[in-house]
Amino acid sequence: MFSPSAGNTVIKSKLISRRMFLISAAKAVVMVGIIGRLVSLQINERSKYKTLSDKNRFREWKLAPERGVIKDFFDKEIASNKQVYQVHLIPENSKNIEKLFVRLKTILNITDKKLFLLKRIIAKQKPWEPIIVSDNITWSEFSRLNLFLHELEGVKPVVSVARMYPDNSSAHILGYVSQVSAKDLQTKKYLKELHVPGMSIGKTGLERKLDEEIIGEIGFQRYEVNAYGKRIKQIQINEGQAGKSFKTTLDFEVQKFTSELLKDKAAAVCVMDVYNGDIVSMVSSPSFEPNEFVHGLEQKYWNSLIKNEKRPLTNKTISGLYPPGSTIKTLVALSALENRIIKPLDNFRCTGKIELYGEKFHCWEKKGHGIVNLRKGIKRSCDVYFYEVARKLGVDRLSATAKKFGLGKKILNGFIEERSGVVPNTKWKKKFIGQNWYLGETLHSGIGQGYFQSTPLQLCLMTAQIANGGYEIKPRILFDEESNNLREYIKFKNENPNQPIPTDLLISNFNLKPLFKNQENINLIKDAMYSSSNEPGGTSFRHRWENKKFTFAGKTGSSQIKRFTEAQREAEVKQESLPYKDRDHALFVAFAPYDDPKYAISVLVEHGGSGGKAAAPIAKKVIKKVLERHELRQRANNLIGEQV
Amino acid sequence: MFRSRSIQSSLSIKDKILSLDYILILSIFILGMVSILAMYSTDGGELKYHTKSHILRFFIFFGMFLFLSFIQIRFWHSQSYIIYILFFILLLGVKYFGLTSSGSKRWLDLYFMNLQPSELMKIGLILFLAKYYHRISIENINQVRFLFLPIVVLVAPLILVATQPDLGTALLIAAGGLTVAWLAGVRVKFFALSGLAFIALLPIAISFLKPYQKSRILTFLNPERDPLGAGYQIIQSKIAIGSGGLLGKGFLQGSQSYLDYLPEKHTDFIFTLFSEEFGFLGSIFILFLYALIVWRIAKIGNVTRSNFGKLYCYSFSTAFFIYVVVNMMMVLGLLPIVGSPLPIMSYGGSSMMAIMFGLGIAMSCKVYKDTPVN
């Protein structure tokens, strides 16, 4: 049985060969399969795997660009950068993160809450991406960190730059920068490409408006790394590009001066060049500390800002809405003159109140102003006179003039916090309130109460456009922003002081857009404003400048918070005796110098009482400061070729 | 029978040398040179430990292969069972005196080298079964009682190796044994039945699998399941091969291996490294060399007259083919990572020794092709 016969052997050998043939066929099939796989990987999908291989091989670390600076009109940096000391951490370089954090806590001042947040970030991102443990440590912490660095694997001390604001006088208009939030990443497309951990972006004000350009271009370092993330060699470095710097029209000195004047008040001041619309000053008070926002806000400070009833975070110059009060009387009078409703010398008798359909409308002067014409109406701010004018004029014609002069619409570009206010008329009421207009409301509108809402900047623009003779200007805050200013016209006027030319010729030659039908009407209003500030009996007479150089023409106003009851009126209750929250807002608008207007100003003091008492003194001081610096400004203008 | 004995005795040294298969020898030698280049690349372009020891091993075992070629085929036939038993004892030795490395016990410390008997068993089993099926008559092959011994000699080492644990080698040993049985004419029915039994036992087998083995199988089914863990090797290997493209990244330029993305680049993933650096054309060249070797061994089976020689050469050729394609399909992501070296190319003394041993016996079948074995 164990010694096969010859025949047996042959049959067996044939069987073996037959079966081997089947196996060989199977081998060929497998071979083809392997070759096919090689073709698919190495030829068809080569580029895909090439990319993956490069992705393995190269790693990029992004570098945050330096933010551009913001300068004032005299090239002083009002939002600059300073060197800061930071602690970065690359999680994958640390063997034991928990232990590292315990050690770090003994060296740096880190709270448990912060550690918790850091751990959450680490869990979310790639292990080689650096996280910022602390973005602003003191020099002594920094040197201590360097001393213990050998114990802290993965930790990297970094000297970086961060936003720094020299003071908080311009905090509102500049805005502030802060860490990118998840919402920012969703809503701001330009951040998608740009985002680097630890980068700050503008959250409000100019910082936000300019963010896209001021932020710069990110740089990167590209390294070849091995499978353990160790950098083998640097392949490429791109430093990125610092953001664009911007020059504003603001005067930092005036900002500081004004800010000091408004300290502890809830107030706002705007100053504007009446010819080219340059905003010289824009201050809202109380202010906040913008530097606090740069490196993560402390809860305590945030709470104190939020709870403050004077609303320090609101930029009152463009976000605060107030009834314009008596400051609107300039436009009511102008509108009536332009529409030929009244003549300058038309008289009304003010007895302290009028009655309309049984409703009483009071003048602020209980005794009444007697016989009142236009000039006296503005000078004494007689309410009854303007009730009569408004009644004849009608609210629709008034609203047309008010809109023409810049009320009811946004003035600046790109400030999300700016509000447009309300210039009411019959259509507006129908649309937004759904009711018909009552005549009584026209009377309230005539003295700037009721539905009227405006920002201090709008009132400043209104005054500037009256002051420059009634021509439209386009306010600007950035020096290089387009502005249809009146410089050609002013140049011509300065060179040919004694050669008046007709208005229509002016318009065609200098591309002016007049807001009037008859310039004489503008002059009448300016004259009336002069009397209000500089003649006895005028509402701001006590705060005039005798010096011709500073003489201003203005208009007071107060916007009512609560209407007086008849009893209060009888008792002649003074504003000062009311609770703070019930007091009127004090307003004052003016232009100066009267002879040769250069600047317009608007002042608002929340709950300040009457405009004459609370707002005018502030305007007086600011006007002097601005005019004292006018020559400097002129010179700076000449240097950069903008002759005014 | 007498005549053939006289033929055998008349073989002179010169005849023997002339009857060697030089195409096979040359293919093996070229493959050895290529493997040295690849090893040099894994050492980052320096003549370091792996390269030096690979060169040494290749030449020692290549010499052994040539030497074994001149040993009488009759000797291999007569000593088959002894060789198998020797290897089995070595396997048992591993179980009690073996070296443990990264969780598995596979090696015997022989002072001059660490021997992995499971690699030798790949050849031992083929040798044993070749002799067994050579000796039983064709009528008895499909008798159940004659299936008993083959199953025992197949399963016994399998269990020892699988519990080391080394599933990959166990399966490759089984593949060699099953090939012999198939060639000898064991009916398809028996393979089907044992296949069914295997599937039935699979759940039990799975329960014996270590967690890492389970995860390897799951990972094979979906490599992206855990890209940084178990799927990492397959993904990185595919990236390396794919990024090689048509012509490769160039010698010593394989970024995947140079930057340590390739795991086990000396051993199981040596083909990946080569393929990354020499591209599609390089890979085809390697495939061609292996095909040549497989073909030449099978060809020896055609010319050798004894059924023992035929069974051995066909089986060894097929087993060799299986070792190659399993490794390649593994690194190409077509099979789970089971841990099987690429013959001759991979770093590892036992694998090299076993393959050269197997080749030596095959070559002996060529030299003594007309010699009857009993």
Pick the last residue of a domain from A187, A220, A247. A247
- A16 CB neighbours in chain B (<8 A) are 183-185, 307, 310-311, 314
For A487-543, the three-class secondary structure string (H helix, E strand, C coil) is: HHHHHHHHHCCCCCCCHHHHHHHHCCCECCCCHHHHHHHHHHHHHHHHCCCCCCHHH
Q: Does B6 touch chain A (CB under 8 A)?
A: no
Q: Does B78 touch chain A (CB under 8 A)?
A: no
Same domain, A242 and A259: no
Of A4, A12, A227, the CB nearest to B260: A227
With a pLDDT cut of 90, the percent of chain B lying above it is 61
Answer for the pair A412, A418: CB distance below 8 angstroms, yes or no: yes
Answer for the pair A6, B307: CB distance below 8 angstroms, yes or no: no
Cα–Cα distance for residue pair A383/A641, rounded to 1 Å: 47
Q: Does A39 touch chain B (CB under 8 A)?
A: yes
Query: pLDDT band for position B223 (50/70/90)?
Result: low
Of A15, A43, A56, the CB nearest to B280: A43
Is A226's CB within 8 Å of B334's CB? no
Answer for the pair B204, B217: CB distance below 8 angstroms, yes or no: no
Residue type present at position A356: L
Q: Does A123 touch chain B (CB under 8 A)?
A: no
Give ipTM to 2 decimals.
Answer: 0.92
Q: For the whole prediction, is pTM greater than 0.95?
A: no
- B183 CB neighbours in chain A (<8 A) are 16, 19-20, 23
Is B135's CB within 8 Å of A2's CB? yes
Q: Which residue, among A559, A341, A331, has the nearest Cα to A451 in the 3D structure?
A: A559
Q: Which residue, among A241, A228, A175, has the nearest Cα to A202 in the 3D structure?
A: A175
pLDDT at A506 over 90: no
Is B138's CB within 8 Å of A33's CB? no
Count the domains in chain A. 2
- B236 CB neighbours in chain A (<8 A) are 56
Contacts of A42 (CB under 8 A, 6+ apart): B241, B242, B244, B245, B246, B275, B279, B280, B283
Per-residue pLDDT tens digits for B322-350: 999 999 999 999 988 877 899 999 999 99
Per-residue pLDDT tens digits for B8-51: 556 788 889 999 999 999 999 999 999 999 999 998 888 889 99
**Phi and psi at residue A591, in whole multiples of 5°?**
-135, 155
Residue B70: count other Cβ atoms within 10 Å of its Cβ. 15
Same domain, A240 and A288: no
Query: pLDDT band for position A640 (50/70/90)?
Result: low
Same domain, A407 and A527: yes
Of B287, B307, B321, the CB nearest to A35: B287
pLDDT at B262 over 50: yes
Q: What is the pLDDT of residue B13?
A: 87
Cα–Cα distance for residue pair B273/B51, rounded to 1 Å: 14
Q: Chain-wide mean pLDDT for chain B?
A: 89
- A225 CB neighbours in chain B (<8 A) are 259
Q: Is B11 strand, coil or helix? A: coil
Q: Strand pairing partners for A555?
A: A589
Of A8, A20, A45, the CB nearest to B138: A8
With a pLDDT cut of 70, the percent of chain B lying above it is 93
Per-residue pLDDT tens digits for A309-336: 899 999 999 999 999 999 999 999 999 9
Same domain, A231 and A285: no
pLDDT at A238 over 90: no
Of A12, A42, A56, the CB nearest to B241: A42
Per-residue pLDDT tens digits for B287-308: 999 999 999 999 999 999 999 9
Q: Which residue, among A487, A452, A428, A456, has the nearest Cα to A638 in the 3D structure?
A: A487
Same domain, A262 and A322: yes
Residue type present at position A439: L
Tokens, residue A348: 């009304």
Same domain, A439 and A533: yes
Tokens, residue B354: 């076993």
Is A49's CB within 8 Å of B183's CB? no
Same domain, A145 and A275: no
Query: pLDDT band for position A600 (50/70/90)?
Result: very high
Most confident range (mean pLDDT) of A86-100, B117-131, B258-272 is B117-131
Same domain, A469 and A519: yes
Query: pLDDT band for position A501 (50/70/90)?
Result: low
Per-residue pLDDT tens digits for A268-296: 999 999 988 899 999 998 999 999 898 87
Same domain, A160 and A278: no
Chain A residue whose CA is closest to B309:
A13
Is A48's CB within 8 Å of B242's CB? yes
Q: How far is CA A24 from the centre of its chain?
A: 81
Query: pLDDT band for position A480 (50/70/90)?
Result: confident
Same domain, A141 and A258: no
Pick the last residue of a domain from A202, A222, A247. A247
Q: What is the pLDDT of residue B116?
A: 94
Mean pLDDT within A560-582: 80
- A24 CB neighbours in chain B (<8 A) are 298
Residue B353: count other Cβ atoms within 10 Å of its Cβ. 21
Per-residue pLDDT tens digits for A412-460: 988 999 999 999 999 999 999 999 999 999 999 999 999 999 999 999 9
- A3 CB neighbours in chain B (<8 A) are 374
Q: Chain-wide mean pLDDT for chain A?
A: 88
Instruction: Work out whether the CA dihedral B39, B44, B45, B51 comes out positive or negative.
Output: negative
Same domain, A117 and A258: no
Contacts of A632 (CB under 8 A, 6+ apart): A74
Q: What is the pLDDT of residue A228?
A: 74
Query: pLDDT band for position A639 (50/70/90)?
Result: low
**Domain layout of chain B by residue ranges:** 2-367
Is B294's CB within 8 Å of A226's CB? no
Please tell me the distance in Å from B34's CA to the nearest CA on chain A. Answer: 19
Pick the last residue of a domain from A188, A223, A247. A247
Per-residue pLDDT tens digits for B226-245: 555 657 888 899 999 999 99
Answer for the pair B36, B333: CB distance below 8 angstroms, yes or no: no
Per-residue pLDDT tens digits for A529-549: 999 999 999 999 999 999 999
- Considering only A111-115, A522-526, B100-104, which range has the smallest mean pLDDT? B100-104
Per-residue pLDDT tens digits for A117-157: 888 888 888 777 788 888 888 888 888 888 888 888 888 88
Tokens, residue B317: 């050729």
Q: What is the pLDDT of residue B3?
A: 46
- B259 CB neighbours in chain A (<8 A) are 56-57, 224-227, 232
More confident residue, A222 or A389: A389
Q: Does B240 touch chain A (CB under 8 A)?
A: yes
Q: What is the pLDDT of residue A298?
A: 84
Is A49's CB within 8 Å of B242's CB? yes
Cα–Cα distance for residue pair B141/B310, rounded to 1 Å: 16
Q: What is the pLDDT of residue B2?
A: 44
Query: pLDDT band for position A485 (50/70/90)?
Result: low
User: Residue A478: which CATH number?
Assistant: 3.40.710.10
More confident residue, A562 or A390: A390
Let me know if residue A4 belongs to a domain: no
pLDDT at A241 over 90: no
pLDDT at A189 over 80: yes
Let me know if residue A25 belongs to a domain: no
Is A46's CB within 8 Å of B255's CB? no
For A25-71, the three-class secondary structure string (H helix, E strand, C coil) is: HHHHHHHHHHHHHHHHHHHHCHHHHHHHHHHHHEEEEEECCCCCCEE
- A43 CB neighbours in chain B (<8 A) are 245-246, 280
Of B314, B321, B334, the CB nearest to A16: B314
Q: What is the pLDDT of residue A490?
A: 66
pLDDT at A106 over 50: yes
| Residue of B137, B145, B275 to mutate, interface with A, max A Cβ within 10 Å | B137
Mean pLDDT within A394-408: 95
Is B245's CB within 8 Å of A46's CB? yes
Same domain, A310 and A373: yes
Q: Strand pairing partners for A422?
A: A453
* CA-CA-CA-CA dihedral for A129, A133, A135, A137, to nearest 10: -140
Query: pLDDT band for position A514 (50/70/90)?
Result: confident
Of B182, B261, B328, the CB nearest to A56: B261
Q: What is the pLDDT of residue B284?
A: 97
User: Residue A181: which CATH number?
Assistant: 3.90.1310.10
For residue A142, what are the domain limits?
59-247
Residue B229, CA distances (Å) to A51, A124, A228 in order: 21, 18, 14
Of B238, B259, B301, the CB nearest to A49: B238
More confident residue, B318 or A126: B318
